[in-house]
Amino acid sequence: MTVFKRLLMYMKPYWWRILLAALASSAYGGLDAAFAYMVEPLLKKIFVSKDVFIFSILPVVILLIFLFRGICRYLNDYYMRTAAQLAIQDVRNEIFRKNIFLDLNFFHRNQTGSLMSRIVNDVSIMQEGVGGIISGVFRDVLGLVSLLGVIFYRDWQLAIISILVIPLTIYPAQILGKKIKLNARKGQEEAGDFTNILQEALSGIKIVKAFSLENSMIDKFSRANHTYYNFLRKLIKYSSLSSPTMEIITSFGISAVVLVGGSKVMANKMTAPEFFSFITAMALVYSPLKKLISAYNDAQRSIGASERVFEIIDAKQEVIDAQDGYKLTRDDNRVEFKNVSFKYQDDYILNNVCLVAEKGQAVALVGPSGGGKSTLVSLIARFFDVSEGKILIGSHDVRDITKTSLMNHIALVDQETILFHDTVANNIRYGKADATDDEIIKAAQAAYAHDFIMDMPNGYETSIGERGLRLSGGQRQRLCIARAILKNAPILILDEATSALDTESEQMVQKALDNLMVNRTTFVIAHRLSTVLNADKIVVLENGTVVESGTHKKLLEQNGLYSRLCSAQFKEDVQ
């Protein structure tokens, strides 16, 4: 009920739609009771009193009743379902908004496909359930209560006999409902798994084809899809058991009423029209009861999906924005790591790191893979928070700086070129939302991207495709650099920005990077040591610890790890 009440809160802004739906639903449900009540007097008028007028207008009345019922049903369905759709739209917006603002650790723990499944599949199940459940409650509960009133009015003894079986339906409904909820939730988890396989296969289609992995991926997807089917099969089994179980139980009540009521008619204690009126009302009582049990099953499916959605909405941020935090100025360019340690789960990635990047300095981070270089620069932008120690920008701990100010102060060019399915101009404009066309062109020129952009079919308005796949690696990287230039942030992070490029592309990109680094405090992560020889400071990381620090010449003289790395790369001692 807690989950369902929370679902209802999303319906609150659309109360007027629900009110209209409730009024229409009430009228619809009340007509069943009125129809059942009128059976007995109509039968007497027509077959006992031989009232020709009543008989002649009865077909028209029936048509009008069903026309009115149809209008009520339409209004109920339309307003309730649109209210549910609007509420679910809010849920989908909220879960996406919450996802976007959650920390990177959250995305490391959760597969992309699983998150996509929750936003798409689970929310869709919520949508299917919410409108139908609320609509059914208004229509079927009112209809059930009204019809119970009619049968008690007609014959309270037969009424008691007919409803004695109703409590017997509660226990099976609860058992089946729990099974439905359990398998619905597990089924959605499996749906997340095969959605993840689908996402990985399609986004990595080049690798799939390069290594002839088509059949392997098909088998993997088929196994996940079959596991999903197994849970759906159980869900279908328990859902399908609901109606037959209800019918079997209620048949005992019907049989008892026929036996007792028929005996009364034959003993002249009850007229045939009264008995038929009672039977009609009783048959109609069981219809909304069956629908309510079906709605209960739908509620269980909806709640199972809702729990998965609310797990994301309720996820706590680990990196908390500073309330009334400091806002950086252009002069806050000095970056200092003071005894910084960072652990992921139980393993330390960085240990007691101390280093300083003075204003305008270029600091290169080098060392063996897995040494903690990318983690170190991620801490500057608070993608993660330090476990011990602190990081200062200017004289302020990054945890005391507002997130907006911090991110506006930092530009990132990553080894993975992230571009969006949009125009060239808009991809550059992500660096500065209100940038003019002239500013975009100047940024592209500084990144040595303007010429190849102008060679494209529509210039800056050319769509570059998903993730920029219509561009070469060097072109994608130069667009990312143009974006960073446009942002004009005082602190720059280059995380292996040229690692995936050929020599010619690397030279062009390196020129663009040189333009970008001017008058900025820069952290450069590079495996190609030739790109960092002129750095103001080179910091060597190994196993999360700073083992050497200094200029290229000084580090070579120390004849330590950096010297060995240079020898391995250049095949000779670099003098």
Mean pLDDT of 264-291: 76
Say whether pLDDT at 575 is over 50.
Answer: no
pLDDT value at position 440?
A: 92
Rounded to whole angstroms, the Cα distance separating 271 from 153 reads 15
Domain that holds residue 481: 416-487
Same domain? 554 vs 466? no
Q: Which residue has the tokens 């869709």?
A: 124
Cα 75–Cα 79–Cα 82 angle in degrees, nearest 5: 140
pLDDT (tens digit per residue) in 73-91: 888 878 887 888 888 888 8
> Which tokens hold the place of 88?
């679910």
Highest mean pLDDT: which range of 183-197, 270-284, 400-414: 400-414
pLDDT level of residue 341 (50, 70, 90 thresholds): very high
Return the SS3 of 343: strand
Name which residue leads in pLDDT, 467 or 547: 547
Q: pLDDT > 70: what percent of the chain?
A: 89
Query: Is the separation of the CB atoms in 243 and 166 below 8 Å?
Result: no
Same domain? 360 vs 386? yes
pLDDT value at position 499?
A: 61
**What are the backbone dihedrals phi and psi of residue 491, each rounded to the nearest 5 degrees, phi first?**
-115, 135
Same domain? 306 vs 445? no
Q: Is 319 part of any domain?
A: no
- Secondary structure letter of residue 164 according to DSSP: T
pLDDT level of residue 500 (50, 70, 90 thresholds): low
Rounded to whole angstroms, the Cα distance separating 559 from 176 reads 73
pLDDT (tens digit per residue) in 447-476: 888 888 999 888 999 888 766 667 877 788
pLDDT value at position 439?
A: 92
> Which tokens hold the place of 394?
């200017």
Q: Is 317 part of any domain?
A: no
pTM for the model: 0.68
CATH of the domain at 536: 3.40.50.300
* Mean confidence (pLDDT) of the chain: 80
For CA atoms 128, 131, 137, 142, the dihedral sign is: negative
Same domain? 340 vs 208? no
Q: pLDDT > 90: what percent of the chain?
A: 9
Query: Is the separation of the CB atoms in 372 and 350 below 8 Å?
Result: yes
Same domain? 262 vs 363? no
Rounded to whole angstroms, the Cα distance separating 263 from 303 reads 47
pLDDT (tens digit per residue) in 563-574: 888 887 766 444
pLDDT value at position 131?
A: 62
Domains in the chain: how many in total?
3
pLDDT (tens digit per residue) in 220-263: 888 888 888 888 788 778 877 877 887 787 778 778 878 887 88
Same domain? 482 vs 493? no
Same domain? 396 vs 425? no
Same domain? 303 vs 329? no
pLDDT level of residue 134 (50, 70, 90 thresholds): low
Q: Which residue has the tokens 């949508």?
A: 127
Domain boundary among 487, 507, 532: 487
Same domain? 463 vs 497? no
pLDDT value at position 572?
A: 47
Query: Is the separation of the CB atoms in 516 and 368 below 8 Å?
Result: no
pLDDT value at position 425?
A: 92
Q: Is 315 part of any domain?
A: no
Q: Is 320 part of any domain?
A: no
